[in-house]
Amino acid sequence: MTDSAFSQAVLAWFDVHGRHDLPWQTNKTPYRVWISEIMLQQTQVATVIPYYQRFMERFPSVLDLANAETDEVLHYWTGLGYYARARNLHKCAQTVVSEFNGNFPNSVEALEQLSGIGRSTAGAIASISMGLPASILDGNVKRVLSRFHAIEGWPGNKKVADEMWVIADRYTPSKRTGDYTQAMMDLGATLCTRSKPQCQVCPLAAQCEAYGQDRVKEFPHSKPKKIKPIKSTRMLLLNHNDSVLLQQQPDSGIWGGLWIFPQQATEESIVDHPQLLQAEVSAVHEGETFRHTFSHYHLDIHPVHVTLKHKPDLIGEAPLLWYNLAEPANVGLAAPVKKLLDTLVHD
């Protein structure tokens, strides 16, 4: 199959079977496409849609986003995970406003210089919103190409990724590039899926090497597995009159910039926590331990519900907040914190 035959087959399929009514497919401005691409990183379309709609309603332009407080941006991102994306999003918006007069630069190379925008995201913005002949290599495209060419090796490996970029560049047409970009993402998301791919109706099946060799499930090769270590922490849910105490994490590190419950090592005594040294406690009970998994380790969270007779003097360098359950503040919450807060609200 020639390079042009590949792209034409994908486009012909897209015209009939592709997704054409996603929220970010109308009014394809660089800003709208950029927001969708960042949200779609490691997140399913069905999950992204309501977040995207709420985000765009609150921040309809790059200027609105740039002028917002970081806490509010994180609040509208709460639940999507990978919060560095939101912090980079905010920083990028401020750069676009301050250095580019609110207009996204119109080249892949310049887009790549912005916070949180890699080569593939830059290619998507350039092709979909600007019509530039730029290629992409997101997870969906990697899956399609690795199967079509039966490419050995984990796509996260630089040598394998470089090989895929060469192929992606070859197949990307100079015309209808934006449609082709969306078509490749749709093909990977709807037919060439991770499990139960629908090879029998794929427009590339006849020339697909993995399909021809009956090895579709082998590709793309998985990342070499490492056993994730297990860590544990105690979260103190300090409650007084339907308000719970939260503290803000530093900008860098786990849950950077987000608000969480005060933490404590599980081997330490609860009464030794700084916020409880001078507090009068009326009730304590332990909640059910649950696990939150990061990319590099598992975290076992031991929630402890502590009812206070009065609000203690707040101690510590980190910003602290009494979070009202009835009138919650618009702040960014770590996923397990939101989960615990939801249980308090529904109790």
pLDDT at 66 over 70: yes
pTM (2 d.p.): 0.84
Mean pLDDT of 61-73: 96
Q: For residue range 86-110, what is the model confidence (pLDDT) as tens digits?
A: 999 999 999 999 999 999 999 999 9
pLDDT at 346 over 70: no
Q: Identify whether the C-beta of residue 112 lies closer than 8 Å to the C-beta of residue 118.
A: yes
- Binned at pLDDT 50, 70 and 90, residue 311 comes out as confident
First-to-last alpha carbon distance for the chain, in angstroms, is 61
Q: For residue range 293-306, what is the model confidence (pLDDT) as tens digits?
A: 998 899 999 999 99
SS3 breakdown of the chain: % helix, strand, coil, rounded to 5? 45, 15, 40
**Pairing of the two strands 243-248 and 230-240:** antiparallel
Say which range, 162-176, 210-224, 265-279, has the weakest mean pLDDT: 265-279
More confident residue, 311 or 14: 14
Q: For residue range 106-149, what is the model confidence (pLDDT) as tens digits?
A: 999 999 999 999 999 999 999 999 999 999 999 999 999 999 99
What was the pLDDT predicted at 347? 58
Q: Residue 246: enclosing H or E segment and its boundaries?
A: strand 243-248
- Binned at pLDDT 50, 70 and 90, residue 309 comes out as confident
More confident residue, 313 or 224: 224
- Binned at pLDDT 50, 70 and 90, residue 195 comes out as very high
37 flagged as catalytic: yes
Instruction: Give the chain's mean pLDDT.
Output: 93
> Tokens at residue 124, please?
């998507």
Identify the structural domains of the chain with CATH numbers, from first to last.
Answer: 3-218 (1.10.340.30), 230-346 (3.90.79.10)
pLDDT at 259 over 70: yes
pLDDT at 266 over 90: no
Mean pLDDT of 251-264: 90
- Binned at pLDDT 50, 70 and 90, residue 204 comes out as very high
What was the pLDDT predicted at 272? 79
What was the pLDDT predicted at 200? 96
What was the pLDDT predicted at 15? 97
Q: Is 107 left (phi over 0), alpha (psi -120 to 50) or beta?
A: beta
Q: Residue 243: enclosing H or E segment and its boundaries?
A: strand 243-248
- Binned at pLDDT 50, 70 and 90, residue 253 comes out as confident
Which residue of the set 37, 57, 72, 317 is catalytic? 37
